[in-house]
Structure formats: C-alpha cells, structure tokens
Amino acid sequence: MDQQAIMKRKMISAIVFAVIMAIGLLVFIGLYIDETKLVQQKYREQYHTSLAHVSEDIDSYLNAEGDKDMRYTRIVCDASNADSFAFLLDDFTEKQKTVNELYTCLLKYPEQMREKLEDVKTAVNDMKQELDKGYEKADEIIASVNKKGN
C-alpha cells in the first residue's frame, strides 16, 4: 500500500466518523429540546397547582374563625410558590412581574391585602385559567395598595 491509499482510507474514516458524530449531536439536541419542553410543562403544572392552593387558602381564610394569621401565612407561602414557578416559565415575562408584585404585596402589606382577598381570589382563579383579565385584575389590586403604608 502506498501513502496515498493510506491517506485516502484515513480521510474516508474521518468523514464517516464526522457524519456519525453529527448524527449523534442532532439526536442529543433533539432529546434536550424534548426534555426542556417536558420540564416547562411540569413547571406550568406546578404554577397552576400553586395558584389553586392560593385560592383554596383564601377560601379557608375567609370562611374561618380562629387563627387567621396562620391561614394568611399559608396564602403568602403558596403565593411564594406560584411566584417561584412563574419565574421558571419561559415566555412569561410580564405575567411573572405581576405574580411577583402580587406576592410582594401579600408579604409586605398584609393589613391592606386582607381587605382585598376576595378580589385576589377572583384574580388568582382567572390566572389559573390563563385568562389575561386575571393578570389585569391583579395589576389593579397592586396599584391600589398604598406602598408607603403597612
């Protein structure tokens, strides 16, 4: 065998190897994209579950007698969960801001927000159903909070 034949065989082997590597890379890219979509779907499910918990906790707060502070704390905790999952969702930027501000108002201004829980429940239920009017209602609630008060 001469030098040219050896080089030709090495080039063919290199091309075959490169093609196999490219196919493998494309398969892994496809798997990554598929897994990313599954993770986003799970985050969205958890977001909706957290919103459902917020709504249930508001019902519990409004219908309860007794330890309302503990029930309000549960509302804040579930709103925190919803905020966290909203942050993880792609293509959710403006809605993330609304969810975060609603959570912040619940946390920082409990006296004012306790008076608005009926409206918050309505907004959260609409948000859970992915209706824009829920986010608009939440924005109205946020705007109505006196941020210089308690």
**Model-level pTM?**
0.79
In percent, the amount of the chain with pLDDT more than 70 equals 98
The label of the residue with tokens 């912040």 reads 104
Residue 149: what pLDDT?
59
In a domain? residue 62 = yes
DSSP code for 145: S
In a domain? residue 13 = no
In a domain? residue 30 = no
Give the mean pLDDT of 91-116. Answer: 90
In a domain? residue 26 = no
Q: Domain range spanning residue 66?
A: 43-144
Do 61 and 75 contact (CB within 8 A), yes or no? yes
Residue 38: what pLDDT?
94
Q: How many domains does the chain have?
A: 1
Do 47 and 89 contact (CB within 8 A), yes or no? yes
In a domain? residue 80 = yes
Do 106 and 76 contact (CB within 8 A), yes or no? yes
In a domain? residue 38 = no
Residue 150: what pLDDT?
56
In a domain? residue 75 = yes
In a domain? residue 58 = yes
Tens-place pLDDT, residues 20-39: 999 999 999 999 999 999 99
Cα dihedral sign for 116, 141, 120, 79? negative
Tens-place pLDDT, residues 55-93: 999 998 988 777 888 999 999 999 999 999 999 988 888
The label of the residue with tokens 């979509």 reads 37
